[in-house]
Amino acid sequence: MIKIIYVEHNGARHAVDVPEGENLMEGAVQNNVPGIDGDCGGNAACATCHCYIPEQWEALTGERTEQEDAMLELADTMKPNSRLACQIKASPALEGLEVHMPATQH
């Protein structure tokens, strides 16, 4: 299990154990973390698991894929550190990762 901390826009923190290899959208949805919907089921085909990755973690979570880029481009709240949580898999290197959420998902 990997400890992931989901931080809502209002600052509320949810520390959750995500099985290794599971993506971070599933990790949130399975644990009823509010603010991540995962409408497409993890295909990077919507943008309802939009999150921001703090700078110190960016190298470990990797780069956005082209498909992710296409979906996030259409979200109003995209920032340089925007990712889709469904495209990041829990791994030991991510133990303690903080995932920040936008005010709303679109």
Partner 1 sequence: MATQLKDTRQTQSLPQGSVSWPLPPRVRPDLPNHDGKYDRATLEAYLASAPLEEVDIADPLWWETDTNHVYFRRLRAEAPVFFTHVNSNRHRGFWNVTRWADVMAVDTNHQVFSSEATLGGITLFDMDPDFIMPMFIAMDPPKHDVQRKAVNPIVSGQNLASYEALIRERTQEVLDGLPRGEAFDWVDRVSIELTSRMLATLFGWPQERRRMLTYWSDVSTADPELPGNPSKEERQAILLGMLQEFTLLWNERVNAEPTNDLVSMLAHNPATRNMPPMEFMGNLVLLIVGGNDTTRNSISGGLYFLNRNPAEYAKLKANHGLVENMVSEIIRYQTPLAHMRRTALQDTVLGGQLIHKGDKVVMWYASANRDDSVLDRPDEFIIDRPRARQHMSFGFGIHRCVGNRLAELQLKILWEEILKRFDHIEVLEEPERVPSAFVRGYKKMMVRIPA
CB closer to partner 1, 85 vs 94: 85
**CB count, 10 Å around CB of 56?**
9
Q: How far is the CB of 79 from partner 1 (least distance, A)?
A: 15
DSSP 63: P
CB closer to partner 1, 41 vs 54: 41
Q: How far is the CB of 44 from partner 1 (least distance, A)?
A: 8
CB closer to partner 1, 38 vs 97: 38
Contact predicate 99/51, CB 8 Å: yes
Pick from 24, 69, 62, 60: nearest CA to 42: 24
The sign of the torsion formed by the CA atoms of 15, 8, 23, 66 equals negative
Amino acid at residue number 14: H
By CB under 8 A, name the binding residues for partner 1.
29, 37-41, 43-46, 48, 67, 70-71, 73-74, 76-77, 102-106
CB closer to partner 1, 17 vs 30: 30
62 is written with which tokens? 């990797």
